[in-house]
Amino acid sequence: MKGKFITFEGCEGSGKSTQVALFREYLESNNIDYIFTREPGGNQIAEKIRQIILDVNNSDMTDECEALLYAAARAQHISQTILPALNEGKLVLCDRYIDSSFAYQAYARGLGLDFIKKVNSFAISNCMPDYTVFLDISSTEAFKRKGGQDKDDRLEQVGLAFHEKVYEGYKKVIESDPSRFLVINCKGAKHETHQNIINALKEKKVLP
């Protein structure tokens, strides 16, 4: 039987990395057979593409080039890592996936959903997540929650206006595909958020 494909998405500052780590601990302590992977990246070739995309020296990369590189990394990631694991019946947990391209490239960068869908449908050949956990907090709210102290991080470098667009983009994507998304309240303590994620996945029978 084919395994389940679960992705985590959220804005910068949403606590996604912490929640992914807590979720992995949960899977391990419950002996659930899974692989963890991430985007951009996930295997040797895709990680090389990641280095090009995230290299701060490549600040003159065009939005179009960036979008195509994300899709190229994804194509490699799917065929070499994600599909083989799903075919072995494993749960695949992926930190970011196609919805990041919808929110960041289509909406926030303004490349449009049609273009990003076209490029990605070529890259992913129908391999969509069964469920996507979305940590529902905007970067502005997350930044305020931290007391506005993160002066050096990427959030500040790119600007909150961009991240607001990312959040709006996610909201539109969720509206267009509501049954796939598990929209998680993450405004409380991190263990409460973790429990909200577990409860939502149990309800969908992804977890026993």
Closest CA to 54 of 40, 38, 74: 40
Near ligand TYD by CB under 6 A: residue from 37, 81, 101, 193: 101
Comparison of 90 and 163: residue with beta carbon closer to ligand TYD: 163
Residue 104 touches ligand TYD, criterion: CB under 6 A:
yes
The torsion angles phi and psi of 22, rounded to 5 degrees, stand at -65, -35
Q: Closest residue (Cβ) to ligand TYD?
A: 104
Of the pair 55, 203, the CB lying nearest ligand TYD is at 55
Q: CB-wise, 12 or 136, nearer to ligand TYD?
A: 12
User: Under the criterion CB under 6 A, does residue 170 sit at the interface with ligand TYD?
Assistant: no
- Applying the rule CB under 6 A, the residues between 56 and 95 that interact with ligand TYD are 70, 95
Number of residues that bind ligand TYD (CB under 6 A): 12
The smaller minimum CB distance to ligand TYD, of residues 1 and 152, is found at: 152
Q: Which is nearer to ligand TYD, 47 or 130 (CB)?
A: 47
Cα distance between residue 202 and residue 83, in whole Å: 23
Please provide residue 152's backbone torsions phi and psi, each rounded to the nearest 5 degrees. Answer: -95, -5
Indicate which single residue of 17, 44, 51, 199 sits in contact with ligand TYD (rule: CB under 6 A).
17
The closest of 6, 90, 75 to 43, measured between CA atoms, is 75
> Is residue 75 within 8 Å of residue 134, measured between CB atoms?
no
Least separation in angstroms between CB 95 and ligand TYD = 6
Residue 78: partners with Cβ closer than 8 Å, 6 or more residues away: 123, 124, 125, 127
How many Å apart are CA 94 and CA 123, to the nearest integer?
Answer: 16
Say whether residue 15 binds ligand TYD (CB under 6 A).
no
Q: How far apart, in Å, are the Cα atoms of 148 and each of 14, 141, 145?
A: 14, 10, 7
User: Using the rule CB under 6 A, is 143 a contact of ligand TYD?
Assistant: no
- Choosing from 12, 23, 75, 173, the residue that interacts with ligand TYD (CB under 6 A) is 12
41, 72 contact by CB (below 8 A)? no
- Our finding on whether 9 is near ligand TYD (CB under 6 A) is no
DSSP symbol at 69:
H
Residues within the interface to ligand TYD (CB under 6 A): 12, 16-17, 39-40, 70, 95-96, 100-101, 104-105
